[in-house]
Amino acid sequence: MRLVLGIESSCDETAAAIIEDGCRLRANIIASQIETHKPFGGVVPEIASREHLIKIVEVVKQACEKAQVELSDIDGIAVTYGPGLIGSLLVGICYAKSLSYVLNKPLVGINHLEGHIYSVVFENPPIEYPALAMVVSGGHTSIYLIPEAEKYKLIGHTRDDAAGEAYDKVAKLLGLGYPGGPVIDRLARIGNREAAPLVFSLPRMEDDRYAFSFSGLKTAVLRYVKEQAIKPLTTGLQPTEQVCNLAASFQHAAVHSLIVPLRKAVTDFQPKTIILSGGVACNSALRVAAKSLSEKINTPLYYPSPILTTDNGAMIAAAGYPKLLRGERANLDLTATSSLKLQNLDLPLEDKPKGKVRYRLS
């Protein structure tokens, strides 16, 4: 197993990549739909699936051209089969199965979240286990314990909105456009969080040390906007100082909400590697906070470059490589699972409110 084609179509990026030997990136092509969905302030599922149908053949063709290979040179195919938008997933799966059948190449289905975890393999040293991975995106905010390669236990997740979704909704409220993460991150750098007289109430969930919640944070922003009579920004106008300060205050609270559970998990499980991945892993403040945490405990932090934080085929190919290498195969009845979970371990945890949490592999 040498060359793997990865296909990703779980949401609004049509992506294909070709990797060599599991960690060398030969080609990574992403056709974004941001401009298509921007007028709606978010992804419209039916439009997304139609766009995938239009673009997928060309995206795979471009990946082959950039990698300077023919489709017949591919040794295996990996495709996302969940979680995600059902219509979008089906486009990628049907195309991957067609290629597998026509070319007589092995096919494997990949969990999108596992793909995000594997997005760090291209630019970092090999992952040392046990590892902790925090996947933060528009649809997911979770912490996984990974005692060994391809073994996952979900130990913490959001109880309401994902972090990226909170960013998008706050940006929409302020008229900052879609997607919200990059623009709020940019404004937060020039804003003064202390100048916004707003105290964001951070959730306290004593029954779940590693849980996240962002609904209260969104409500606090909404209340502040109403009290201060802040109008949504209209097209062509620059954000006011007040909006920049609010963005800075919101981002500070959001990053704090992410780092606190991660810090608890790192303290309890003492991993050899910390992984930060997903679209929100591109956020500058989150990276600084996570890096500071890793330096304090002298544990390496791995995160992907910005192009690999978004949905992409390279991470799917990387996650598929070890599975294909050991002979794992998906049948042609592989189908989409929109709410697919990433957890294949049932580790009994001996919970302790303070100190290390012990876990058993058997």
Query: Can you give the CATH number for the domain in which 294 is found?
Result: 3.30.420.40
Domain that holds residue 111: 3-119+307-325
Among 31, 265, 240, 56, smallest CA distance to 142 is for 265
Paired with 110 in beta bridges are 80
Please give the share of the chain, as a percent, with pLDDT higher than 90. Answer: 77
Same domain, 89 and 154: no
Tell me how many domains the chain contains: 2
352 lies in some domain? no
CA dihedral 135, 140, 142, 144 (to 10 degrees): -60
d(CA 191, CA 169): 19
358 lies in some domain? no
d(CA 20, CA 27): 10
Same domain, 228 and 285: yes
Same domain, 146 and 264: yes
Of 362 and 24, the one with more pLDDT: 24
pLDDT at 357 over 60: no
Entry pTM: 0.91
Domain boundary among 303, 337, 354: 303
pLDDT at 192 over 60: yes
344 lies in some domain? no
Same domain, 53 and 170: no
Same domain, 143 and 108: no
pLDDT at 311 over 70: yes
Same domain, 32 and 80: yes
Tell me the two tokens of residue 34. Answer: 């941001």
Same domain, 226 and 251: yes
355 lies in some domain? no
Q: Comparing 73-77, 98-102, 181-185, 342-346, which segment has the lowest mean pLDDT?
A: 342-346
pLDDT at 133 over 50: yes
pLDDT at 89 over 90: yes
For the chain, what is the mean pLDDT? 91
> CB burial class (10 A; 0-12, 13-18, 19+) of residue 149?
exposed
d(CA 285, CA 308): 18
Among 121, 149, 29, 108, smallest CA distance to 318 is for 121
Of 162 and 196, the one with more pLDDT: 162
Same domain, 311 and 297: no
pLDDT at 84 over 90: yes
Please give the share of the chain, as a percent, with pLDDT higher than 70. Answer: 92
First to last CA, the chain: 31
Other Cβ atoms less than 10 A from the Cβ of 158: the count is 22
Q: What does the pLDDT average to over 191-211?
A: 72
66 lies in some domain? yes
359 lies in some domain? no
pLDDT at 203 over 70: no
Same domain, 253 and 108: no
Paired with 350 in beta bridges are 358
243 lies in some domain? yes
The helix/strand/coil state of 150 is: coil
Same domain, 159 and 296: yes
pLDDT at 360: 41
pLDDT at 201 over 70: no
- Binning pLDDT at 50, 70 and 90, where does residue 261 land? very high
Same domain, 59 and 140: no
Paired with 153 in beta bridges are 145
d(CA 309, CA 116): 7
Among 121, 113, 119, smallest CA distance to 10 is for 113
Same domain, 191 and 209: yes
151 lies in some domain? yes
pLDDT at 359: 41
